[in-house]
Each structure stands twice: as C-alpha cells, then as structure tokens.
Amino acid sequence: MDDLTAVRELHDDVPELTDDARLAARVRLQRAVLQERRPRALSRRLVLRTTVAATATAAVAGGVLLATDADGPRMTALSAAEVLQKAAVRSRAARSGVPVPRNDQYFYTRTFITRTYDKDGRTRTWTDESWTSVDGSKPSRREEHGKVHNDPPLAENEVMAPPTEYAALAKWPTDPDRLLERLRMDTREDDRMAFMNACQFFVVPRVMPPGLQAAIFEAVAKIPGIRTDRDSVDALGRRGVAVSYPKFDFSFVFDARTCAYLGMRSKGSSVTYHGRKAEHHDWYHEVSGRLELAVVDRIGQRP
C-alpha cells in the first residue's frame, strides 16, 4: 500500500475540516517536530499520519481557542458548549456593579459598532447611546447606526419578549434545563427559537438578576447544532471566538483567551422592495461591543 492510499483510508472517517481544525493540526505537528530530541527527520508516512490524526481530533473538538502565557503559546481545543460553560463560570464570578433598577428609571447603554461590507471591504463605525424605559411605561430614545429614534411607551398589555423589567426577569428560571424549555416557547423550530431568544437578551439592553446571564449561556450550551465559527474580532478589535446556530444571522462573541462575553456579531444587508419581493444587496458583517451599561433617572442623563 502506498502513502497516498493510506492517507485516503485514514481520511474516510474524518469529518470535513474547518480552518480552525487545520490550524490546530499545524500547531500540533510543529510542536511534535520541535520536541523530537533526536536529530533524525520524521518519516513521510509518520508526518502524514500525524497530520490526519491531529486534524481529526481538532475537528471532533468543534472549535479552537489559541492562548498565550508566560511559558509561551499553548493551544486549547474547545467545543461551542465548552466555550459557553466557561463564559457562564466567568459571568457568575464577575460583579457588574449595576444597581437594581426601578420601573420608572432607564437603562443607559453606550455601544460601539463596526460594520464591514463584503463586496469591497469598506468599514463604518458608530458609537450609539440609548435610554430604554425599564418597564416600557415611558418613551425611550435609542440610537442605531448614528440615527436617533424616539420610541413611544409600550401599549397597554404589551410587553417585551424577553422582558426588560427587572421584576419580570427575576421570575425567569436560572436552572439551565428549565430556562432552555422556556426559551424554546413550544414552537416547531424549538432550537432556532431558543437561540434567537437567548440573543435577544443581549441585543436589547437590560440589567439581569444574579445568575440569569450565566444560565442563558448554560442553556444555549445544551442546544444541538451550535458551533464555533472561525476566529472573530469584536468591535473594539479584541480577538474572540463566535458561537452561532446554523443559518441564523446572530452570534455571541467571547474573548478567545478568557471566554468573557464581548458582544454580538450579525450578518445583514440593505433591502429594497419591488412590490412584495425583497431584493438584498450590499451584504455586510457587523460586530457590536457594549462600552457601558448603567441605570439613570431620565433620558439624556449619563452615568
């Protein structure tokens, strides 16, 4: 049997490789070569088998995070679920310092946004501020991509889903299994709906009760099909890893080293309508990072 036939047979049971998996294999192979104490070169067959085995292992892991420490570079392969679990641990350990809001107050947010267009690579940035009524009973003001929108109070019996009111959020379960069941909302596309609702907790500003953000990450970790995308960069240029759901335009972005939550990534386009038919053009990728979240008493007030 020749070398190429051996490689083909080894490759038959290996899933399709991501860019991250290939990178993981390359780093592992380089490390193996450097650690080889004897000066002899590795045989061609051994090199090929090492490459296939390493890439298979990385592919099964589902994602790659690269980190550095005092001893030099190290590599940790993490699945999407593992990234979310680590993010949950970090969330529980962190103290936001944001006070419990009253219903008559406002959530103040300052968010940095970077949008990159697919066609020509041009980039636009915005720093948006928003004042959102905690219980929706007052008008709100939000900035989106530099444009100011004055939103009326919510109509009677109208509520945000998921809610922004702190008292309503405090009633949500922090047990991941119960929370996932609630996020699914008994729809035919349960998993997609659960991921979408989880994203909404971060797209629209709110102060979450203790443990709820961590529970959201843990609940999303239980959704089949979630995956890590190739290395991402958040709106502030920090290196991150994105966790997404297939064929959904929003992703969570976490710090590639610490798994701290950094922001959201999304895909969109400009849309024009011809009758009822929508035509998409100028596709872009956008990342947002929240610079500040606080509770204030009125629109226009800053912390």
Query: What contacts 77, CB < 8 A, 6 or more positions away?
Result: 24, 57, 58, 61, 62, 63, 64, 65
Confidence of residue 73 (pLDDT cuts 50, 70, 90): very low
Q: Which of 7, 8, 11 is nearest to 21 (CA)?
A: 11
The Cβ-side half-sphere exposure at 133, using a 13 Å CA radius, reads 16
Question: pLDDT category, 132, cuts 50, 70, 90?
Answer: very high
Q: Is the distance from CB of 231 to CB of 208 less than 8 angstroms?
A: no
Average pLDDT of the segment spanning 175-183? 96
Q: Say if residue 108's pLDDT is above 60.
A: yes
More confident residue, 124 or 13: 124
State residue 50's pLDDT score.
Answer: 34
Average pLDDT over every residue of 246-267: 92
Percent helix, percent strand, percent coil in the chain, to nearest 5:
30, 30, 35
Read off the DSSP letter of residue 138. Answer: S
pLDDT at 194: 95
Per-residue confidence (pLDDT) for residue 237, from 0 to 100: 80
Mean pLDDT, to the nearest integer, of 133-149? Answer: 94
Distance CA 48, CA 52 (A): 6
The residue ranking higher by pLDDT, 27 or 154, is 154
| Tens-digit pLDDT profile for residues 23-58 | 444 434 444 433 443 334 333 333 333 333 333 333
> Is the pTM for the entire model greater than 0.75?
no
Residue 126 reports pLDDT greater than 70:
yes
> Comparing 120 with 4, which gets the higher pLDDT?
120
The encoded tokens of residue 32 equal 């193996």
Query: What is the Cα–Cα distance from 6 to 114, expressed in whole angstroms?
Result: 47
Q: Which residues pair with 290 in a beta bridge?
A: 111
The DSSP letter of residue 33 is H
| Under 8 Å between Cβ of 241 and 65 | yes
Where residue 77 falls among pLDDT bands split at 50, 70, 90?
low
The answer to whether 79 and 62 are in contact (CB under 8 A) is yes
pLDDT tier for residue 146 given thresholds of 50, 70 and 90: very high
Task: Give mean pLDDT, residues 227-244.
Answer: 82
Mean pLDDT, range 228-256, rounded to an integer: 86
Contact assessment for residue 76 and residue 65, using Cβ atoms and an 8 Å cutoff: yes
Determine the pLDDT at residue 47.
34
Q: How many CB atoms lie within 10 A of CB 150?
A: 9
Which pair of structure tokens corresponds to residue 149?
A: 């929108």
Query: What is each CA distance from 26 to 20, 37, 70, 259, in whole angstroms?
Result: 10, 19, 22, 23
Give burial (CB, 10 Å; 0-12/13-18/19+) of 10.
Answer: middle
Whole-angstrom distance, CA of residue 16 vs CA of residue 22: 10
How far apart, in whole angstroms, are the C-alpha atoms of residue 237 and residue 88? 23
Closest by alpha carbon to 28, among 1, 53, 2, 65?
A: 53
CA–CA distance, 47 with 37 (Å, rounded to integer)? 16
Would you tell me how many other CB atoms lie within 10 Å of the CB of residue 191? Answer: 20
pLDDT at site 253: 94
Q: How many residues does the chain have?
A: 303
pLDDT, one tens digit per residue, over 189-206 is 799 999 999 999 998 888
Mean pLDDT over residues 253-277, rounded? 87
Determine the residue type at 19: D
Specify whether the CB–CB gap between 249 and 267 falls below 8 A: yes
Q: Side-chain half-sphere of 237: how many Cα atoms within 13 Å? A: 2
pLDDT tens column, 181-190: 999 987 777 9
